[in-house]
Amino acid sequence: MQTEFIMNHRIIARLDIKGPNLVKGIHLEGLRVLGKPEEFAYHYYKQGADEIIYHDAVASLYQRNSLLEIINRTAEAIFIPLTVGGGLRSIQDIQSVLRAGADKVSINTAAISNPDFISDAAKTFGSSTIVVAIEAIRQNDGSYLSYTDNGREYTGMEVQAWAKEVEERGAGEILLTSIDQEGTGNGFDEKLIQTVLPNVNIPVILHGGAGNPNHVLNIFKNEKADAIAIASMFHYGLINSNGAMGYHNEEGNVDFLKQQRSFKVFEYETIISLKKNLVDNGITVRY
């Protein structure tokens, strides 16, 4: 008798990084410093995160990626898949972050500029290593276009068509971010999700909008998502409950940490309790 395979839905912690610091904003802008990414990543690993995503928030803007030391330190401390994105423009760039300890890479700007880069990277490192990030903004006519550089740069690329091409060129996963919802805690853009999910056959990681456990539960139940990447809900919740993790004399916009403010838009939910809630509601996860 053939046994049916049951997929575990993944809960992924996304950490945006600027220089040595974990940062967070709204719509990927107005970045405020929250602490050291390695500390947050380790905490999420111990809580039961299925994967970690590191994204250099200004790499494409400054045409560089400077995460190698952070990747190396993180890879020595956590033992779940680590995806790294931001400023990866060549096979050599990908090779460098994989050697530093990353398991997968996320590409966006370079993929849109040269779609063959997806095919070349997939052939060189295997499809399972290549994630293509799609940063989507809803237009006035209700359509969605892909952007680069954290939603700063217009490309004119229609999201649905681009997602299909990404799959055809050999990418193993798509990281789909709603720039409109990102950092707001107002929930996911379900129309965007419905634009992409039914039209591709590779896993899609949904990012942008999670503010409470019901947002996560509803997307897994209603949209048949493979994985959800969460940033603000985890970061602010962790700081609200344990301010000692925060301020280490970081440079940059540290007003939030200095003032020891809480961020009430986001409900505090540990990964453990979030997964328990999902299991109690019939969603399969690694728990």
Handedness of CA 24, 27, 28, 29 (dihedral sign): negative
Active-site position among 38, 135, 149, 173: 135
Instruction: Answer yes or no: 255 catalytic.
Output: no
Handedness of CA 102, 108, 111, 113 (dihedral sign): negative
| Cα–Cα distance, 102 to 89 (Å, whole number) | 16
16 is catalytic: yes
Q: Centre a 10 Å sphere on the Cβ of residue 245 and count the other Cβ atoms it contains.
A: 17
CB of 141 within 8 A of CB of 172? no
Instruction: Report the distance separating Cα 58 and Cα 201, nearest Å.
Output: 31
What span, in angstroms and rounded, lies between the C-alpha atoms of 116 and 229? 27
Question: Two tokens at 153?
Answer: 């740069």
Contact 37, 15 (CB under 8 A): yes
Full DSSP string of 55-76:
EETTHHHHT----HHHHHHHHH
Active site residues: 16, 135
